[in-house]
Amino acid sequence: MRIDEIANLQDLCTGCMACVDSCPEKCVIPILGKDGFRYTKIESSRCTNCGKCYAVCPIDNIKKHEGQQRLYASYAKCNDVRKRGSSGGIFELLATQFINRGFYVCGAAFEENKLFHRIVNSNSELRALLKSKYLQSNTSGIYDEILALLKEEESVFFCGTPCQVSAVNNYIPEKLHHNLFTADIICHGVPSQETFDMYIESLEKKSKGKVTDFSFRVKDNKYEHAHGFTYKITQNGKTTTVNGLYPQSTFYNGFKKYLFFRQSCYDCRYSSLSRVSDITLGDFWGIEKYDFTGNTDTGVSMIITNTPKGEQAFSALNEQVMCKEFPISYGVESNHCLTKCTDKPTDRDEIIDKLHRDGYDSTALKYFSSDITQRIYLLMPTSFRNLLRRIRRG
């Protein structure tokens, strides 16, 4: 990769922003692309051609682990922990284990509806990092913060998308990796912060209120569903909570249909069984098909240990988890992201253009409102819906 190519990656750029942190001249600048995603540009007059930006770029520099992998279906025995997580709550257990050992933990957290990667080192701060947030997090600046901690002989647990983990791996010099532990999530693509902002703005306009505390993957007894959402809305000093299933949120529905992901996600170089992290965390969709005796109603995680470090950290949770090992082929069978990237919907480019041309509401109405089958499903009593879901899962 030549120096000018880093500035011309366009569709390949994953938006990890490691090149911004890496530049000693501070001449790699974050910019907002026409599609609403973050890209970078180089101020060439100040560039010294040192090559640091392309050394950290995760597009061509991919170091996947080659050792033996093990696959598990697992969830936290503690029901509260399991409910706080998107799938089985394993991230919280791992992060707590690391905090108790004196690590700093880095993961994605909302701050006033904007998603950033941030570093915490206490169990109370960890709460903000829990659960999947279905948009791209801003990682600008985080690489320098992790490097500074590791240089001070501190230890860091980083959790993010595979491309973000790869950027961290590239950014941190090999000699400091012994104090770094990484987890990647099985990711099938990310929408932009900008599309999420448009959605929140639309909710606020319609309700004449302020939206806070948006959360995906809410699990409660009423819905007993893997894709519920909740948020708070404050109107004239009064705050109410809105709950729903994903087809009732246009943004969540569009995400589930892969409609407005970053272009590079449809050409992801990390959608394979070989991984870049110590441990991979995902959902074990379809676990009911296999010989697993645990309760599957509130989320089961798919865990892949990729290194001895990953295996050791997971087995240390032994007392706290329900867990069964399966052949690695079961993971590939039930999770398409472990073999191929997400297919790009034919409407995707038109949707991105229309969002910018005509605004959120008319685009949502045309492309991501609930369809007739979803509306019938939503009209059913919860008990009947849950019964249907159980029958479908066998």
Ligand X SMILES: Cc1cc2nc3c(=O)[nH]c(=O)nc-3n(C[C@H](O)[C@H](O)[C@H](O)COP(=O)(O)OP(=O)(O)OC[C@H]3O[C@@H](n4cnc5c(N)ncnc54)[C@H](O)[C@@H]3O)c2cc1C
| Chain residues that interact with ligand X, rule: CB under 6 A | 85-92, 107-108, 115, 129-135, 137, 159-161, 185-188, 190, 281-283, 301-302, 335, 337
- What is the smallest separation between the CB atom of 340 and ligand X, expressed in angstroms? 12
- What is the smallest separation between the CB atom of 141 and ligand X, expressed in angstroms? 15
Among candidates 86, 76, 22, which has minimal Cα distance to 48?
22
- What is the smallest separation between the CB atom of 274 and ligand X, expressed in angstroms? 16
- What is the smallest separation between the CB atom of 20 and ligand X, expressed in angstroms? 17
Is residue 181 packed enough to be buried (19+ CB in 10 Å), middle (13-18) or exposed (0-12)?
buried
Q: What is each CA distance from 381 to 227, 343, 376, 386, in whole angstroms?
A: 17, 34, 10, 9
Looking at the Cβ atoms of 87 and 249, the one nearer to ligand X is 87
C-alpha–C-alpha distance, residues 81 and 223, integer Å: 18
- What is the smallest separation between the CB atom of 344 and ligand X, expressed in angstroms? 15
Looking at the Cβ atoms of 209 and 294, the one nearer to ligand X is 294
- What is the smallest separation between the CB atom of 21 and ligand X, expressed in angstroms? 17
Looking at the Cβ atoms of 6 and 126, the one nearer to ligand X is 126
DSSP single-letter state for residue 257? T
- What is the smallest separation between the CB atom of 354 and ligand X, expressed in angstroms? 22
- What is the smallest separation between the CB atom of 235 and ligand X, expressed in angstroms? 28
Contact 294, 89 (CB under 8 A): no
Looking at the Cβ atoms of 287 and 302, the one nearer to ligand X is 302
Residue nearest to ligand X (CB): 85
Looking at the Cβ atoms of 5 and 343, the one nearer to ligand X is 343
Is residue 237 packed enough to be buried (19+ CB in 10 Å), middle (13-18) or exposed (0-12)?
exposed
CA angle, residues 61, 67, 72, in degrees to nearest 5: 110
Looking at the Cβ atoms of 250 and 271, the one nearer to ligand X is 271
Among candidates 288, 332, 304, which has minimal Cα distance to 184?
304
Looking at the Cβ atoms of 33 and 160, the one nearer to ligand X is 160
Rg from Cα positions in the chain: 21
Greatest Cα pair distance, the chain, in angstroms, is: 65
What secondary structure does DSSP assign to 278-295, as a single string?
SEEEEE-TTGGGSS--S-
Looking at the Cβ atoms of 7 and 59, the one nearer to ligand X is 59
CA angle, residues 123, 129, 133, in degrees to nearest 5: 160
C-alpha–C-alpha distance, residues 189 and 263, integer Å: 9
